[in-house]
């Protein structure tokens, strides 16, 4: 930094170079052959790649022009804006000359893995939450922190990494943020304490938070205008592929004890930990693949790195031409005029003004993407929390409707060595009975008496003794503790070698498989809608896709009100997901195209951070309404969709825009 400032003052106090223009009268009649014929408009700035000179030609280096100290700053900014617009038009022509081919498809797959990791991170939280909290014996007061803290990390990460990518580069930031995510996601599978696990998942979320804003900004800068909408929409498909991957792996791994193993008596590596490791694999693959990808040439040009940008553009051109069978075709671009780089000292002198202008540019019309995108996110994540719980309530109601009730029974000298499930025993008397190697599953004993009974190796799930009397009874190696006795009297009874810790019992959870399967179907239903939106994005237009998708998904969401069975609710959910994906894709494309290159990552990161905040609010609002009423969540989601669509229609149509 200090070296840069010293160099600036050195250049500032050098004698000004006076450039003579032919056919003009000057007081000083001296002339120079070196300056004769030089056109100020064709001035080539330092750092520009001038190509290989023609045979016998002479290539002349021109020094850095000295900016007139009296020139008004607004005039300089206007000149720079005009040059940036000229660069945008020229860059579009260069990308079209490079063609769309193997290079873009390679980058598409690499960035798809990064975006897939973001989708996995969102889904993995909900899948491991019950298992992790049970395995680590988390009390009810600490339950639910995992989901909130991960979204908090993603919210901070989106803004941090998005802004940083505008300063140090898309590829570099994406490599670092994905590495942070992969490292802490992998580490979280081995930690034992819940607080340490929360810390690791928060940092994992902080890392992956940069994936969405950087990936779309990065990929958009390699695409020509006529290809941008379609291929950014194809890229969105990887987010849902991440959801499908997470759902399938959860379905295949978490409920199965065969994936678990132990390292001594103190360390248990349960199946949910294996699932966390498997879900980190897309992130690791993305990091490895990114090392072979170049930086965005548009970013290089924005920062005055002409030669680096030219080399990347030549790499794109040569890769695509070789794939087409035209390796002899030469990259004809040998000069790209880049905008003047305003001097650092001038920038420092009005730092507050520049910062204020920079902030206002983020709060201009592009900010309209924030409420629209936040509306989509709020209702999506809100319904993603509300819907599985609604299914659970429907299942619980169905399960409770088949309960068996036993009243006034007397059982004496009997051995129970089988599972008792979904039963209520009222006013029962159990004398000299043995309960050995068995399970109580959703069994309630009311106003019953147990006398001279023996319990050994008994596991209870959702089972309680209410207002019961326990006399002269022996409990050995059971999980029946004080929490199981509600308003009951335990007299002269013994508890020996009770089971300690928290037991994960997926085989006893009737909804475990079903929840994973529902999420799998819901994410799978998105793929047809994604394909349709990709094919129509450049033909129909961003705003038409946005408005139509949000209106149709709002209507389909309203019909969830009339779902009275699991199958109807699941079918409506699949329809809703399939119709709403076009709105997601449209907003991602519009956001990438609205912001200029020097603020694209920051603007996208800001919008994405607001989305994560909306996700937290959606989880809290919709989660609090589970089991209370269906009307409020459904009407709220439909209203948010309609309002978001109306706000989104005020966005400018960017279909014909070049990337500024």
Q: How far apart are CA 261 and CA 269, in angstroms?
A: 5
SS (H, E, C) 330-393: CCCCCCCCCCCCCCHHHHHHCHHHHHHHHHHHHCCHHHHHHHHHHHHHHHHHHHHHHHHHHHHH
- Residue 200 dihedral angles phi and psi, to the nearest 5°: -65, -40
3-class SS string, 370-382: HHHHHHHHHHHHH
The stretches of 29-144 forming alpha helices (DSSP H) are 73-98, 102-135
According to the model, what pLDDT value does residue 273 have?
A: 84
What is the sign of the dihedral through the CA atoms of 173, 176, 178 and 181? negative
CATH code of 404-496, in short, is: 2.160.20.80
Tokens of 61: 């280096």
CA distances from 550 to 371, 372, 505, 641, 653 (A): 13, 10, 41, 6, 17
Check residue 310 and give its pLDDT: 85
**Cβ–Cβ under 8 Å, residues 553 and 519:** no
| Euclidean distance between CA atoms 437 and 418, whole angstroms | 8
Residue 85: how many CB atoms within 10 A of its CB? 13
pLDDT for position 37: 41
Classify burial at 149, counting beta carbons within 10 Å of its beta carbon; exposed 0-12, middle 13-18, buried 19 or more: middle
Which contiguous run of DSSP H or E holds residue 264? none
Residue 541: strand, helix, or coil = coil
Tokens representing residue 465 in the block: 């003794």
Check if the beta carbon of residue 476 is closer than 8 Å to that of residue 436: no
Alpha-carbon distance 584 to 533, whole Å? 10
| Residue positions counted in the chain | 660
**Helix, strand, coil percent content, the chain, rounded in steps of 5:** 60, 10, 30
H or E stretch at 252: helix 225-253
| Spatial separation of the C-alpha atoms in residues 254 and 273, rounded to whole Å | 8
Q: Residue 47 corresponds to which tokens in the numbers above?
A: 């750092």
273, 383, 384, 554, 577 from 379: Cα distances, Å: 30, 6, 8, 10, 11
Residue 63 confidence (pLDDT): 42
Rounded Cα–Cα distance for residues 376 and 580 (Å): 8
As a whole number of angstroms, the distance between CA 561 and CA 318 comes to: 56
The SS3 call for residue 420 is strand
Is residue 427 classed as helix, strand or coil in its secondary structure? coil
What is d(CA 30, CA 26) in angstroms, rounded to the nearest whole number?
9
Distance of CA 575 to the CA centre of its chain: 22
At 637 the three-state DSSP class reads: helix
In this structure, the number of other CB atoms found within 10 A of the CB of residue 631 comes to: 10
Between CA 186 and CA 107 the distance in angstroms is 25
| Structural contact between residues 391 and 569, judged by C-beta atoms closer than 8 angstroms | yes
Q: Are 287 and 179 in contact (CB under 8 A)?
A: yes
Mean pLDDT by 10 residues, the chain (660 residues): 41 42 43 40 41 39 44 68 73 82 90 90 78 67 66 87 87 92 89 83 89 88 84 87 87 71 63 86 92 88 82 87 81 72 43 40 48 56 64 73 89 91 92 91 92 91 90 90 88 84 51 70 82 83 79 79 75 81 81 80 81 72 65 75 73 68
Q: Which residues pair with 438 in a beta bridge?
A: 458
- For residue 421, list its beta bridge partners: 441
DSSP string, 286-312: HHHHHTTSPPPHHHHHHTT-HHHHHHH
Cα separation of 259 and 236, whole Å? 32
- Output DSSP code: residue 64: P
Cα–Cα distance, 572 to 549 (Å, whole number): 15
Strands (E), 418-493: 420-426, 429-431, 434-446, 449-451, 454-461, 464-466, 469-471, 474-476, 485-486, 489-491
* Residues contacting residue 30 through CB under 8 Å, at least 6 positions apart: none
Return the SS3 of 446. Answer: strand
| Of the candidates 210, 213, 190, 212, the residue with the CA atom closest to the CA atom of residue 200 | 190
pLDDT, residue 502, reads 59
- The token pair that represents 295 in the structure block: 């930086």
Dist CA 533 CA 186 (whole Å):
35
Q: What is the value of pTM for the model shown? A: 0.72
pLDDT score at 388:
64
Tell me the CA end-to-end span of the chain in Å, nearest whole number.
28
What's 67-83 look like in SS3? CCCCCCHHHHHHHHHHH
552 touches 602 (CB < 8 A)? no
**296 CB neighbour count, 10 Å cutoff:** 24
- Cα dihedral 340, 343, 346, 350, rounded to 10, equals 70
Q: d(Cα 592, Cα 136) in Å, to the nearest integer?
A: 42
């Amino acid at each position: 930094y200090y070296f840069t400032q010293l160099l600036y003052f050195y250049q500032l106090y050098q004698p000004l170079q006076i450039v003579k223009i032919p056919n003009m009268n000057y007081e000083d009649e001296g002339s120079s052959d070196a300056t004769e014929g030089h056109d100020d408009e064709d001035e080539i700035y330092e750092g520009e790649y001038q190509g290989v000179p023609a045979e016998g030609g002479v290539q002349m280096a021109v020094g850095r022009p000295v900016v007139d100290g009296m020139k008004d700053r607004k005039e300089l900014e206007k000149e720079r804006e005009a040059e940036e617009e000229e660069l945008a038009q020229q860059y579009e022509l260069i990308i079209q000359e490079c063609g769309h081919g193997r290079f873009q498809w390679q980058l598409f797959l690499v960035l798809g893995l990064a975006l897939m990791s973001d989708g996995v991170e969102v889904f993995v939280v909900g899948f491991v939450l019950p298992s992790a909290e049970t395995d680590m014996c988390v009390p009810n007061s600490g339950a639910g922190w995992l989901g909130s803290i991960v979204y908090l990390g993603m919210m901070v990460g989106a803004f941090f990494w998005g802004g940083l990518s505008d300063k140090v580069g898309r590829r570099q930031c994406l490599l670092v943020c994905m590495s942070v995510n992969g490292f802490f996601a992998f580490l979280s599978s081995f930690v034992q304490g819940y607080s340490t696990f929360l810390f690791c998942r928060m940092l994992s979320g902080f890392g992956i938070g940069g994936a969405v804003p950087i990936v779309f900004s990065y990929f958009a800068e390699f695409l020509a205008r006529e290809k941008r909408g379609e291929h950014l929409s194809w890229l969105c498909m990887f987010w849902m592929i991440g959801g499908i991957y997470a759902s399938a792996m959860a379905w295949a791994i978490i409920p199965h004890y065969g994936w678990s193993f132990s390292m001594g008596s103190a360390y248990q590596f349960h199946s949910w930990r294996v699932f966390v490791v498997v879900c980190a694999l897309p992130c690791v693959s993305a990091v490895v693949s990114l090392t072979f990808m170049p930086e965005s040439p548009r970013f290089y040009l924005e920062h005055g790195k002409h030669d680096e940008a030219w080399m990347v553009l030549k790499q794109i051109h040569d890769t695509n031409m070789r794939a087409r069978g035209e390796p002899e075709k030469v990259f004809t671009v040998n000069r790209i005029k880049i905008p003047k780089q305003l001097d650092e000292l001038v920038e420092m002198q009005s730092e507050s003004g520049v910062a204020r202008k920079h902030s206002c540019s983020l709060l201009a019309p592009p900010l309209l993407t924030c409420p629209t995108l936040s509306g989509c996110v709020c209702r999506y994540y809100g319904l993603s929390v509300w819907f599985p719980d609604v299914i659970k309530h429907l299942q619980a109601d169905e399960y409770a409707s088949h309960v068996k009730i036993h009243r006034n029974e007397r059982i004496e000298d009997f051995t129970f060595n089988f599972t008792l499930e979904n039963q209520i025993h009222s006013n029962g008397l159990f004398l000299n009975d043995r309960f050995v190697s068995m399970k109580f599953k959703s069994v309630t004993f009311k106003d019953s008496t147990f006398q001279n009974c023996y319990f050994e190796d008994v596991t209870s799930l959702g089972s309680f003794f209410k207002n019961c009397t326990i006399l002269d009874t022996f409990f050995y190696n059971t999980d029946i503790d004080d929490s199981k006795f509600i308003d009951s009297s335990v007299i002269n009874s013994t508890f020996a070698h009770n089971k300690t810790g928290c037991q994960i019992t997926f085989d006893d959870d009737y909804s475990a498989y079903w929840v994973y399967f529902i999420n799998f179907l819901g994410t799978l239903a998105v793929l047809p809608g994604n394909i349709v939106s990709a094919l129509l994005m450049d033909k129909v237009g961003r705003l038409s896709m946005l408005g139509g998708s949000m209106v149709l998904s709002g209507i389909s969401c309203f019909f969830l009100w009339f779902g009275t069975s699991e199958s109807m609710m699941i079918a409506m959910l699949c329809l809703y997901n399939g119709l709403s994906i076009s709105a997601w894709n449209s907003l991602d494309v519009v956001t990438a195209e609205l912001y200029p290159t020097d603020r694209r990552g920051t603007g996208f990161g800001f919008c994405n951070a607001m989305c994560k905040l909306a996700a937290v609010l959606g989880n809290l609002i919709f989660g609090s309404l589970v089991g209370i009423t269906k009307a409020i969540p459904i009407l709220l989601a439909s209203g948010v969709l309609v309002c978001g669509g109306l706000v989104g229609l005020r966005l400018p149509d960017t279909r014909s825009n070049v990337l500024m």
